[in-house]
Amino acid sequence: MITNASRGLLSRAATVSGATRIVANASAESCAVSATRQCLPARASSHWAGYEMGPPDPIVGLNEAFGHDDFENKVNVGVGAYRGDEGRPFVLPVVRKAEEMMQGHHLDHEYLPIAGDPIFVKLATEFAYGKDSAPIAEGRLAAVQSLSGTGGLRVFGEFLKKGGHEHIYVPDPTWGNHIPIMRNSGLEVRKYSYYDVDTSGLNFEKMMADIKDMPAGSCILLHACAHNPTGMDPSPEQWAEISKAVKDYKLVPFFDCAYQGFASGNAPKDAEAIRMFVEEGHNIALVQSFSKNFGLYGQRVGALSVVCADPEEAKRVTSQLKITIRPMYSNPPKHGAHIVRTILGDEALTAEFIDECKGMADRINDMRVRLRENLEQVGSTRNWEHITKQIGMFAYSGMNKDQVMAIREKHHIYCTLDGRISMAGVTSGNVEYMADAIHDVTK
């Protein structure tokens, strides 16, 4: 039974409760209307706030600048990727054919082993070393599939570090990514002389002196062919001298081979230095990329191999390469490697590949001749002989940084700041324009 006193207490409680709701509602409305930060919970400071903006990659930044340029006749000769004479990306017909064949096989998408596709690895190493190579025949080649050349370089850098190496020697200049890859592997990067800017040629005498000054046991990185960025390779006679010095001074030769077949149009010829060193008894290491020669830029196809003393040593080295790969990327991708193995595993397709690869090399060499001819015809008094002496995708033009910026601003031609020109970007439609522009900023 509710008494009058109880009713009074309930009435007062309701009044108080109502007043509280009114105050609370008024407060909420006031907060919503004012939208002041005091009404919102404080946002926690980000753990990532201390991370600074990194500098743009030189090539990526160059491509972005090119993309934002509205000039109709702009030219991009900074990208290290082949283009046809119409200036568009080029897929080798034999690659298309291999992909069609693969579709009919209903391939699965299972993981590859840590060391990659063993058939691809076998065919890739035979492509570089030769099918009759002694290390392959004797079972003393440790080899794994890699994430193109870049991944193989990183794996080998860490492999060296684990084995007690503290430094590696690279040519001056070298591919820009060599340096951060090796530094991030924990190695000190040292340079040896390679290119003479004054003569636009190989500084062989200074190169040999630097090689002979390297401490015994040092690893020396060598470009197997089509040196990037200079396009200037040693002659066969000079390679023989390099081989002798490397052996005499007990150095570890490590070849980076990114352009086999693409440099001269002759795959065995482009592998001459590799095969010479092996025949002369060096236990070389080799990283191969199939991006340029097969046009498989986005597939990340490569191989890393180490010549060992005997099969037992090869097994131990392979085990260490796999231990390095496992926590890094676990195992390599499948599709691109299967394209390469389909082509190299078939004599007819291999013949087609060699012919198409030669076609790419021939087009680039033709552009070298035409660029030099146009520079000479336009009245330039400079010596442009180095353009046709160099080989491979790149021409080290000799333009300095100021001239590179001038040709970009005045003529909308984009190349890297060291004056490196990707000859794949030079076409029959722009070669005269290129020559006029280069002459304008270098006269």
**Does the pLDDT value for residue 28 go beyond 50?**
no
Close Cβ partners of 175 (under 8 Å, ≥ 6 residues apart): 223, 228, 229, 256
Q: Does residue 217 have a pLDDT over 50?
A: yes
Q: Which of 144, 420, 177 is nearest to 288 (CA)?
A: 144
Segment 344-360 shows an average pLDDT of 96
Query: 339 pLDDT band (50/70/90 cuts)?
Result: very high
Q: What is the C-alpha separation between 345 and 338, in angstroms, rounded?
A: 10
pLDDT of the residue at 42: 56
Average pLDDT over residues 426-436: 97
Minimum mean pLDDT among 27-36, 146-155, 266-275: which range?
A: 27-36
Give yes or no for residue 247 having a pLDDT over 50: yes
pLDDT at 127: 97
Judged against a pLDDT cut of 80, whether residue 189 lies above it is answered with yes
Instruction: Give the Cα separation of 386 and 353 in Å (integer).
Output: 29
Q: How much of the chain exceeds pLDDT 90, in percent?
A: 86
Task: Give whole-number Cα distances, 430 to 87, 386, 437, in Å.
Answer: 10, 20, 11
Give the model confidence (pLDDT) of 149-182 as tens digits.
999 999 999 999 999 999 999 999 999 999 999 9
- 232: pLDDT strictly greater than 70: yes
Find the helix packing angle between 118-129 and 335-344, rounded to 10°: 50
- Token pair listed for 192: 């040896």
Q: What is the pLDDT of residue 355?
A: 96
Name which of 17-31, 201-215, 269-283 the model is least confident about: 17-31
Q: Would the pLDDT of 17 be above 50?
A: no
Closest by Cα among 372, 373, 344, 341 to 357? 344
Q: Would strands 201-202 and 195-196 be described as parallel, antiparallel, or unpaired?
A: antiparallel
Amino acid 30: pLDDT: 47
Identify the residue with better confidence: 120 or 37: 120
pLDDT over 80 (residue 412): yes
Q: 104-156 pLDDT, tens per residue?
A: 888 999 999 999 999 999 999 999 999 999 999 999 999 999 999 999 999 99
Per-residue pLDDT band for 41 (boundaries 50, 70, 90) equals low
The 10s digit of each residue's pLDDT in 72-89 is 999 999 988 999 999 999
In the prediction, which pLDDT does 20 show? 43
How many other CB atoms are there within 10 angstroms of residue 225's CB atom? 25
Is 267 a residue whose pLDDT tops 90? yes
Q: What is the pTM of this model?
A: 0.87
In which element (H, E) is residue 421 found? strand 420-422
Q: Is the pLDDT of residue 26 over 90?
A: no
**pLDDT of 32 strictly over 70:** no
Closest CA to 386 of 173, 172, 207, 231: 231
Instruction: Read off the DSSP letter of residue 424.
Output: G
Q: Are 158 and 186 in contact (CB under 8 A)?
A: yes
pLDDT at residue 13, rounded to an integer: 42
Per-residue pLDDT for 440 more than 80?
yes
C-alpha dihedral sign at 315, 124, 388, 396: negative
- SS3 state at 405: helix
pLDDT of residue 144: 98
For the chain, give the mean pLDDT.
91
Instruction: Please list the active-site residues.
Output: 175, 256, 292
Q: Provide, rounded to the nearest whole percent, the portion of the chain with pLDDT above 70.
A: 90
